[in-house]
Structure formats: C-alpha cells, structure tokens
A and B are shown apart, each in its own frame.
Chain A
Amino acid sequence: MNKSNLFFWLTALILGCASCVKEKELHPILIPSLVNGPITKVEAFDEHNSLFVGTENGVLIRLSDKSQYIFEPTKYSKLEEVDWSVTEVLYSPIDEHFWLISNALILQFGPDFYEEYMDETPFYEPTGFYVDYSVSPSGDLYRTGYYKEFWDPNSGSFFSDYYIGIYRFLGNPNNGWQAFETDMTISSENLVTPNAVFNQTGKMVLTTNPQYNISGLPDTVDFIAQEKTAEGFNYKGVQDPFLIDDRYVLGLNVHPRPFVPATELFSTTINEKPVSQLRISENCEYNNEAIGPVKLLDHSNTSCRFYIQFFSNELTKQTEDLGFIAELALDGSYCNISAIKTSEQIMFSETISDLDALGSTIYIGTENGLFLYDLQTGALTTYFDELFDDRLE
C-alpha cells in the first residue's frame, strides 16, 4: 500500500467517523403539577404496579408501564363534586381502568379514557349505607347491598332478614344497573356491609355470615350459602376481603379509615365453617401511642401489610416517627414493623392525608404534595424526583 492509498483510506475513515453523528432523543415528561398540592387519596395496586392519586386539583393515574394521565376539573367538571372523605377506588387490570366512587358519583379513568355517571337509581334507602363495590375480572363494576327487609311476625324472633341485591353497572347511556335481587338473606343480627370479592374465574364471594359463593354472573346468580362459625367471638363477616389461592377468604373486622383502626384479621376457608381471628395489636408491637391499622395496603400469599397511623398531640420532632408499616404473617407467625421517619419535608404525622405501598416504596400523600418513602433506606423523595430519575436511567 503506497502513501497516497494509505492517506486515502485514513481520510475516508476520519470523514466517515466525523459524519457518524449519534442521534439521541429526549421526551417530555408529563408533570402532574397537581401532585404538588394537597393530596386527598393515594391508592396503589401492587399486583398491577398501578397508582391512583386524588388531589384537590384533579386526578393522576399511573399505569404499570409508568405512563401517566391527568384529569383536571377544568376539563372534567364532575371532579369538583368528589367528596374525597367518602371515596372508594377500584382497579380493573383487564382494561387498566380505575373506578372512583364518591356517593352517587361514579367516575371511570383510563388511558385517554374518562367517563362520568351520576347515579340516580332509587336504591333501598334504609340500608343505603350498607353498600360495597367490587370489580369483576372482566372489568364490570358490581354493587352489593340490600334491597328489602322482611320480618316474619310468626317467626317468634326479633330479628328480621335483609335481602341481598347484586347490581352490575351498565354505564351510559342507560345510567343504570342490571339488578339481581336475590333470595340471599342476612339476619339483622349479622347486618354488615356485604363485601364482595371475585376469584380469578369470575366467581363472587360475599363475605357475610352466612357467606355466599356465587357463580353465573353476569347472566344469573347461582349461590351456595356457607354458614360460618366462630369460637369465642362474634363473626358477622369480613370487610376489605381478599382471597388466597381462591381457597381462603381473609379480611378485617371493620373497614379501617383514619382514626378508625381495624383490630382483627379474620380468615376462613371458603367452603368450610370455622373462622379464625388474629388480633392485630397483639401480634404486632408498634408504638403504644399509635392509633392502629387504618389501611390495608396489600397482601401476598403469606402476609399482608397495614399502615399504622401514629398521632400525637405533641409536636412531632425530627427524630420521631410519622407512622408505621406492619407486615403481618397471615398465620400470625411474625409481624415486621417499619417506621416511617420524620424529615424536613414531612415533620408531622397529621400532614399525612393518605398513603399506600408499591413494593418497598410508600407513596405518601400530604398537604404539601406526594412523596415517596423508601422503606429499606429511609430516603424520602418527591414524586417528581422519581419521574426524572426514571427518565435519566
């Protein structure tokens, strides 16, 4: 190879390299500035890695692929009518839709999807408060409640029977429900909100006493009553139920909420009578001043996690705790307590409006915005930090 040839080669190589401009593209990040304001609701669905954040300025949803969608009252005016103190949030993984139910207002959020319904159905008023909502595996919203009370004067009993109705939401334009007014009854001595939970094959379990195992939905209601017996305690049914292996039903004695903690974890086999209870405070050693488990965060096949609310009349100091996360084994064999520590950003437990967990990350809604607390490291960051870190990885 002579000189000119070699020179030609290298010049070509260098010019070629110089024209090798790498291309990189940056993408905008949806910034939910609404999460910088007061947060009213935080619901994380651990199994599906999705998140619902309610605020006074709208709603943010985040799906498993971390895509986010914002719904603001300026565009969706019904959001202004949400009473955040009485809301229930459900998630339907099949269509990635969130249901928000606030009194008679039913809102549905999804990827580029929004529907609103003002429910004007004249349900049976005397038991209007005993209502629960659940979502079937096919994405249908169900309401379970009572549609009539009947007392037989010849029964010789003071107790009456409440008849259970199951209603499948039909949505717009009917704005109505497909009603299944059944012969399933609950004695007034066991009157509770009839909570429902679906198994993976679409069968519903009504966790009342008697418990009703229901099949045939959405076409019909075929039910089998399963009496439950408890030794040494009164059992009316479970609230916030969840299934393990489609075989065991677990749940709490009350639906917990701030300052109204649950005290018992009930468990029972679906097709058997006995019910066992686990007294949460006896199995989990958290601060005596703590109010107790005010939210069931999530569960696995072996344990469930609670948010233990902590409230002190004294000003919380830097070294103290904002609350606790209790991981309780379903058989009571252990209970791991992790404290959420105070920080500059969150100094007082009373600023926490709601929280939920995704893995080891606790999403904390406060008056000052949404924060993330890493249970393993104790690090507190803002929701924005996480958004940006994800993008820079």
Chain B
Amino acid sequence: MIKQLMILMLVLVVASNRGVAQSHDNVEGRKVHAFSFKYFRSSFRHELGFTVGAHWFRSPQMETYYKLKQNAAYPEPVFNRGVGVLNISYEPRFRLLEFGSSVSFTLDVPLLVSISGIDVRTDDGFRYSTDSIDIEDFRTGIFAKERTERLGTFHAEAGAMIGLNFGQASTYENTNRLGLSIAVGVNYFTAPIFMNSSRGYEREDYENMLTWITPVSRLSLHFRSVSISHTIGVNPTRVTYPTLTSSRSALTNTYNRLSIAFRIGR
C-alpha cells in the first residue's frame, strides 16, 4: 500500500512539474463558461447506453461466514455479487465548466437498470442465508445456513461523477469526430430489485446487504454520437482470510462495466 502511494505521489510530482513547465501554453482569451439554466440546452447532454454481458460487481464485505475446522472457525467474506446480463442506462451530463469549445467538466448522473443475477455469497459460492441457526446446527459447526437459490434478479444503480471531457461531447459546439472523457465518482447500488420470493427470501431479512456505495471511475471514447465506456471500481478491498493450511484472498467492493451509449439529440 505504501509502495503504491509512493508511486502515485511520484506520478503526481512529475505531472505537477509538467504543469509548471507548460502553464505558459494556456491559450489567452479562451472563454470559460459555467453551467447556466438560461443556456440549458448547450449545458446539457444525455445519452442512452447498453451493456451486454460485460458487467459485474461485488459489494464491500457485508457479513462473515465461518467454516468449522478442527476447533476453529475459519472466516470467509460474504458480499453481494451481481452479474449483469443486459442493462439499459440513461445518463444526463451537466456541463459545469467549459473551457473554450473542446474541454469541459461535467456532472454525470448515470442511471441504470439491469437484468442481472444477484446473490449474497462467498468467493467459493456459498449462498449465505440469514436464517436463524438452532442449537443442533451450532453443535455440528453450522454457523450460517445456505440458500438453495440465488437471492434475486435485476438491480439498479445511480451514480454521481465528475467528468473531464475533451473533443467530441465536451461542448455543445464541438464538432470533432473523436472525443475522450474521464470521470470519477460514486455509484449507489440497490440489488436485487426483485427478491426470489418463491423461495421465501424476504427483503427485510437481508436489508443490510442490499444497498451500498462504491467509488468508481470511467474512461469513455466518443466517436460522433456513439461512446464506448469502461467503468471500474477504484477502491477495492482485498480481504485475506486463512484456511486450514494457508490463506486466500478475495477482492470486494469491485466494479466492472463495459458499455456502449448513444447520444440523444445533439
């Protein structure tokens, strides 16, 4: 971790030096526009996106599942895991600041609904159940029951990201064919939307495990009215847990989505 921070600091220092060296290159007279409701049309952009398959995520650790082995309970992290089959997203982007005609800062609000399989489980696939345990279970070393089916289907995300945009899509008047955006922010998850109630899984039994927030970042390439984006979680947690003979680790609080989006309007 310290090593990573040092690398980051080094990169930033180099970047900072580059900035000092090149600060005189700023184009004089470049106009800066702030977001305005008066010119809302030019300060706003929205798009409709789709993802097929390339979408999966894990929540932060929600619970701990224990396995009894030789007088000790070995913990494993339990998290909410989702795999998206198909999702549709709508994303308004508000241009907060525009620098000239080809650079802008935007507030992006991705809203997403996904056909997905959602489960609260361990890395080994143990489907963690909140059903209560009785004495007999404890005696035999069962500290949590296992569900037979996945917890539910469909999930939704709502994000808030600050984006930096270049070229296409950066400003209303930009006519470049190509553009690039980088965005950083957070995603709020609610998963699943539909509990597998046919198996008796109730939302209130899992209420602490169905919503969370994950920090994410996104890189987008724009070509005319089409953009391809890759969104990843930026602050995952590696949970290391022991086994009888060694130790294992599982990444939690992760996110991955590759999507294609189409600009609505200009």
A residues whose Cβ falls under 8 Å from a Cβ of B: 1-3, 5-33, 36-37, 70, 345, 368-369, 382, 384, 387-388, 391-392
The answer to the question of B180 belonging to the interface, with a C-beta cut-off of 8 Å to chain A, is yes
Contact (Cβ within 8 A) A5 B4 = no
How far is A14 from B138 in the complex, measured between Cα atoms in Å?
46
B4-60 interface with A by 8 A CB criterion: 4-5, 7-8, 11-12, 15, 18-19, 22-23, 25-27
Q: What are the residues of chain B within 8 A of A14 when measuring CB–CB? A: 182, 184, 217, 219, 234
The answer to the question of B83 belonging to the interface, with a C-beta cut-off of 8 Å to chain A, is no
Contact with A along B162-191 (1 / 0, CB 8 A): 001010000000000000101010000000
Most B C-beta atoms less than 10 A away, residue of A8, A21, A26, A27: A26
Residue A369 contacts which of B19, B135, B180 (CB distance < 8 angstroms)? Answer: B135
Q: What are the residues of chain A within 8 A of B182 when measuring CB–CB? A: 7, 10-11, 14
Contact (Cβ within 8 A) B240 A25 = yes
The answer to the question of B266 belonging to the interface, with a C-beta cut-off of 8 Å to chain A, is no
How far is A31 from B69 in the complex, measured between Cα atoms in Å?
9
Contact with A along B115-154 (1 / 0, CB 8 A): 0000000000000000000010011010100000000000
Q: What are the residues of chain A within 8 A of B74 when measuring CB–CB? A: 28
| Top-10 shortest CB links A-B | A16-B8, A26-B75, A17-B234, A26-B241, A12-B11, A22-B237, A36-B139, A28-B72, A31-B73, A14-B217
Given A12-B11, A23-B238, A26-B77, is A18 in contact with B68 using a C-beta cutoff of 8 Å? no
Given A14-B182, A17-B215, A391-B64, is A24 in contact with B237 using a C-beta cutoff of 8 Å? yes
How far is A31 from B1 in the complex, measured between Cα atoms in Å?
32
Q: What are the residues of chain B within 8 A of A17 when measuring CB–CB? A: 184, 215, 217, 234-235
- How many residues on chain B are close to A (CB under 8 Å)? 54
How far is A247 from B186 in the complex, measured between Cα atoms in Å?
65
Q: What are the residues of chain A within 8 A of B18 when measuring CB–CB? A: 5, 8
Contact (Cβ within 8 A) B234 A18 = yes
Contact (Cβ within 8 A) A16 B215 = no
Q: What are the residues of chain B within 8 A of A1 when measuring CB–CB? A: 19, 22-23, 26
The residue on A at minimum CB distance from B162 is A10
The answer to the question of B71 belonging to the interface, with a C-beta cut-off of 8 Å to chain A, is yes
Given A5-B18, A16-B4, A18-B217, is A28 in contact with B242 using a C-beta cutoff of 8 Å? yes
Q: What are the residues of chain A within 8 A of B77 when measuring CB–CB? A: 24, 26
The answer to the question of B103 belonging to the interface, with a C-beta cut-off of 8 Å to chain A, is yes
Q: A19-B8, A30-B71 are in contact. List 9 more A-B contacts (CB 8 A).
A: A6-B164, A16-B12, A20-B8, A24-B240, A28-B242, A32-B71, A33-B139, A36-B135, A392-B63
Given A6-B164, A12-B12, is A369 in contact with B184 using a C-beta cutoff of 8 Å? no
Contact (Cβ within 8 A) A24 B239 = yes
How far is A384 from B72 in the complex, measured between Cα atoms in Å?
11
Contact (Cβ within 8 A) A13 B184 = yes
Q: What are the residues of chain B within 8 A of A25 when measuring CB–CB? A: 239-241
The residue on B at minimum CB distance from A19 is B4
Contact (Cβ within 8 A) A18 B232 = yes
B residues whose Cβ falls under 8 Å from a Cβ of A: 1, 4-5, 7-8, 11-12, 15, 18-19, 22-23, 25-27, 61, 63-64, 66, 68, 71-77, 102-103, 135, 138-139, 141, 143, 164, 166, 180, 182, 184, 215, 217, 219, 232, 234-242, 251, 253
Contact (Cβ within 8 A) B166 A3 = yes
Given A30-B71, A33-B68, is A5 in contact with B22 using a C-beta cutoff of 8 Å? yes
Nearest chain B CB to A368's CB is how many angstroms away?
A: 6
How far is A213 from B120 in the complex, measured between Cα atoms in Å?
65
Q: What are the residues of chain B within 8 A of A382 when measuring CB–CB? A: 135, 138
Contact (Cβ within 8 A) B234 A33 = no
How far is A36 from B142 in the complex, measured between Cα atoms in Å?
12
Given A2-B22, A17-B215, A388-B143, is A12 in contact with B8 using a C-beta cutoff of 8 Å? yes
Contact (Cβ within 8 A) B7 A16 = yes
Contact (Cβ within 8 A) A3 B66 = no
Q: What are the residues of chain A within 8 A of B5 when measuring CB–CB? A: 20
Q: List 9 A-B contacts (CB under 8 A).
A: A2-B22, A3-B103, A14-B234, A29-B72, A31-B71, A33-B141, A369-B139, A388-B143, A392-B64
Contact (Cβ within 8 A) A6 B8 = no
Contact (Cβ within 8 A) B11 A33 = no
The residue on B at minimum CB distance from A14 is B217
Q: What are the residues of chain A within 8 A of B235 when measuring CB–CB? A: 17, 20-22
Given A2-B22, A12-B8, A391-B64, is A21 in contact with B236 using a C-beta cutoff of 8 Å? yes
Residue B240 contacts which of A13, A16, A23, A391 (CB distance < 8 angstroms)? Answer: A23
Q: What are the residues of chain A within 8 A of B72 when measuring CB–CB? A: 28-31
Contact (Cβ within 8 A) A7 B242 = no
Q: What are the residues of chain A within 8 A of B103 when measuring CB–CB? A: 3, 6
Contact (Cβ within 8 A) A345 B15 = no
Q: What are the residues of chain B within 8 A of A387 when measuring CB–CB? A: 73
How far is A70 from B141 in the complex, measured between Cα atoms in Å?
16
How far is A8 from B15 in the complex, measured between Cα atoms in Å?
7
How far is A392 from B73 in the complex, measured between Cα atoms in Å?
13
The residue on B at minimum CB distance from A11 is B182
Contact (Cβ within 8 A) B15 A369 = no
Contact (Cβ within 8 A) B135 A27 = no
Given A6-B103, A12-B12, is A26 in contact with B22 using a C-beta cutoff of 8 Å? no
Residue B164 contacts which of A7, A30, A32 (CB distance < 8 angstroms)? Answer: A7
How far is A20 from B15 in the complex, measured between Cα atoms in Å?
19
Given A14-B217, A33-B141, is A20 in contact with B1 using a C-beta cutoff of 8 Å? yes
The residue on B at minimum CB distance from A387 is B73
Contact (Cβ within 8 A) A345 B68 = no
